[in-house]
């Protein structure tokens, strides 16, 4: 069915409200907008769905939510009565329509006889991951678009291990969705009726306390916090989102005395009125936090995104504040955890670290010099969770820390996804430890460069929205495979790893070897000057991500390399 026919189907459907029909009628003379909304469904994958809110097949709305949930319910039903009784946990964030979409998902699950536990209000993503495992649920749903701008919402899906959905189950849900009519194929049960019958249960405080207990169990050295508490001053912002309650609570339990939440950004608001983007990767969003930090003489700023799975940090340098990148915070935490646990006698003999293939190689150096096992996975914490499960089955390794460059950190294994709540606690503890040495986290980072070598990374986003953008993304990846560059930014390409088929091409000899991983749309170019240049389409947003990872003799040397490769990356936009 073409986009015109799909548009007409929606416009004529009795399932649409008067407001929804009016929205579609407003684009009747705009074929480009019509195509963008109806050229294809939002793609359902291991991360679920994510898209701009609005009426249409390629938008986030109640009909798309119901459709996806019907497909998900079919997967759970196929596993039998026990799986249906174990049921699903549903969570949501502060975005527009999030609570509505959560109730709609609950109504569809209940309509299919699947037991539902739904949070009484918004909660962080890591608490959902924890709750799935704590309740022994079969699956989970979180209505969130994480760090995306206010126009977006999303539908994150989880399995019984608390990790995002495995590829085979995601494929099964997508297959079911293809068989189900988006309007007539949905089984719905009234939410209040399901609640009164006990098929839907509202959860809250009891699981909050269990989650908090597990978070606090991962503190390593509370004594250093007590000693530093009088002098350590921290500003916190949740960017209007779900970290607003949990993060201040864990910092207070840790022993932080001087915590200054940003008042304007403690207000829950899915329009994110104080920032253009609620993404802690972007320094611009921290302007209110920086102002507050100056007023309160704080040395550290912590920010979490709307679903509190990502954390961003700003640190004091020469009287001002600078951002610490996701890679930099990762190596700081990794080095701190290894040494603090070793000093406390809590470092397992079989300790392991996990990171993604696009995360700094400084991690490998730290692991090597400290005698710690480290392993790469594909981007996405579901792959790290799978590796943890493998290690649990064999007892071979105990994972103490997992991270990726995109500001996501997983402490231990009680949560199986990014966890900004526990990470915030450990960042504060780490800051306290360095504070006692008269050092800021910026000073600490410089000391790590002196000890382990100089590394610098940059991630570029080549944004390609809409139907044309999707075609451009595919065209770019096909072109790079068909005619791979022999040099990038003046440096010779030595090896090319194509993670889609798991091949490694030695450019000079022409020999083709086998990579350890395969099955992801990633091209990895290793260059003659030690730089890695990686190209990967985002799995959740309409953009190509380019990762540049340099190693040099100094920070300046690394930064010069980064600038040179940035110029080449910009040519890929076409």
Active site residues: 146
Assign 414 to helix, strand or coil: coil
Question: Distance (Å, rounded) from C-alpha 50 to C-alpha 65?
Answer: 11
What does the DSSP 8-state code read for residue 530?
Answer: S
Question: Distance (Å, rounded) from C-alpha 366 to C-alpha 114?
Answer: 47
For residue 498, what are its two tokens? 């194509």
For residue 409, what are its two tokens? 């950190």
Bridge partner list, 320: 317
For residue 394, what are its two tokens? 């064999």
Question: Distance (Å, rounded) from C-alpha 170 to C-alpha 159?
Answer: 10
Distance of CA 60 to the CA centre of its chain: 19
Residues 359 and 337 sit within 8 Å (Cβ to Cβ) = no
Assign 203 to helix, strand or coil: strand
Rounded to 5 degrees, what angle do the CA atoms 425, 426, 432 make? 95
Residues 57 and 6 sit within 8 Å (Cβ to Cβ) = yes
Quote the crossing angle between the two packed helices 243-254 and 420-436, to the nearest 10°.
Answer: 40
Question: Distance (Å, rounded) from C-alpha 344 to C-alpha 341?
Answer: 5
Written as one string, the DSSP assignment of 272-319 is -TT-S---TT-GGGGHHHHHHHHHHT-SEEEEE-TTS-BEEEEEEETT
Residues 251 and 279 sit within 8 Å (Cβ to Cβ) = no
Residues 268 and 258 sit within 8 Å (Cβ to Cβ) = no
Residues 110 and 116 sit within 8 Å (Cβ to Cβ) = yes
Nearest CA to 330 out of 311, 302, 316 is that of 311
For residue 311, what are its two tokens? 């954390």
Assign 150 to helix, strand or coil: coil
Question: Distance (Å, rounded) from C-alpha 300 to C-alpha 440?
Answer: 8
Bridge partner list, 409: 403
Nearest CA to 56 out of 13, 103, 30, 24 is that of 24
Question: Distance (Å, rounded) from C-alpha 501 to C-alpha 514?
Answer: 9
């Amino acid at each position: 069915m073409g986009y015109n026919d799909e548009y007409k189907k929606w416009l004529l459907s009795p399932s649409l409200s008067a407001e929804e029909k009016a929205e579609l009628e407003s684009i009747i003379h705009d074929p480009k907008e019509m195509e963008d909304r109806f050229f294809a469904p939002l793609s359902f994958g291991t991360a679920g769905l994510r898209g701009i809110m609005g009426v249409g097949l390629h938008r986030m709305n109640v009909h798309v939510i119901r459709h996806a949930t019907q497909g998900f319910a079919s997967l759970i039903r196929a596993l039998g009565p026990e799986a249906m009784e174990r049921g699903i946990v549903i969570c949501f964030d502060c975005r527009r329509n999030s609570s509505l979409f959560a109730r709609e998902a609950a109504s569809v699950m209940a309509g299919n006889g699947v037991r539902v536990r739904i949070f009484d209000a918004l909660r962080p993503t890591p608490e959902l991951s924890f709750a799935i495992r704590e309740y022994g649920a079969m699956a989970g749903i979180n209505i969130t678009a994480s760090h995306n701008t206010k126009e977006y919402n999303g539908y994150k899906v989880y399995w019984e291990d608390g990790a995002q959905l495995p590829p085979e189950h995601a494929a099964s849900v997508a297959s079911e969705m293809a068989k189900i009519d988006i309007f007539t194929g949905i089984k719905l049960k009234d939410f209040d009726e399901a609640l009164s019958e006990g098929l839907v249960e509202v959860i809250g405080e009891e699981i909050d306390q269990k989650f908090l207990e597990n978070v606090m169990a991962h503190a390593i050295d509370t004594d250093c916090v007590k000693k530093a508490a009088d002098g350590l001053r921290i500003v916190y912002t949740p960017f209007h989102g779900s970290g607003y309650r949990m993060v201040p609570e864990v910092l207070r339990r840790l022993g932080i005395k001087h915590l200054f939440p940003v008042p304007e950004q403690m207000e829950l608001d899915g329009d994110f009125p104080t920032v253009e983007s609620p993404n802690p990767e972007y320094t611009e969003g921290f302007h209110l936090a920086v102002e507050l930090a100056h007023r309160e003489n704080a040395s550290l700023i912590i920010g979490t995104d709307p679903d509190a799975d990502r954390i961003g940090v700003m640190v004091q340098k020469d009287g001002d504040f600078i951002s610490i990148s996701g890679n930099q915070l990762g190596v700081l935490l990794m080095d701190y955890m290894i040494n603090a646990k070793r000093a406390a006698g809590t470092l397992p003999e079989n300790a392991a670290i996990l990171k993604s293939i696009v995360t700094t190689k400084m991690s490998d150096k730290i692991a090597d010099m400290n005698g710690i096992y480290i392993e790469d996975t594909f981007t996405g914490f579901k792959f790290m969770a799978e590796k943890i499960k493998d290690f649990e089955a064999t007892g071979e390794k105990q994972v103490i820390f997992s991270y990726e460059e995109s500001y996501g950190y997983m402490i231990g294994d009680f949560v199986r996804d990014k966890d900004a709540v526990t990470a915030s606690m450990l960042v504060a503890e780490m800051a306290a430890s360095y504070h006692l040495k008269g050092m800021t986290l910026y000073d600490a980072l410089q000391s790590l460069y002196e000890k382990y070598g100089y590394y610098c990374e940059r991630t570029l986003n080549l944004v390609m929205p809409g139907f044309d953008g999707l075609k451009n993304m595919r065209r770019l990846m096909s072109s790079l495979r068909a005619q791979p560059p022999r040099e990038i930014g003046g440096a010779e390409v030595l090896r090319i790893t194509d993670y889609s088929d798991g091949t490694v091409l030695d450019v000079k000899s022409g020999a083709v070897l086998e990579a350890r991983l395969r099955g992801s749309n990633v091209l990895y170019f290793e260059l003659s000057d030690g730089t890695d240049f990686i190209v990967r389409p985002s799995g959740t947003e309409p953009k190509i991500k380019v990762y540049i990872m340099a190693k040099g003799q100094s920070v300046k040397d690394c930064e010069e390399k980064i600038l040179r490769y940035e110029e080449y990356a910009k040519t890929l936009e076409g």
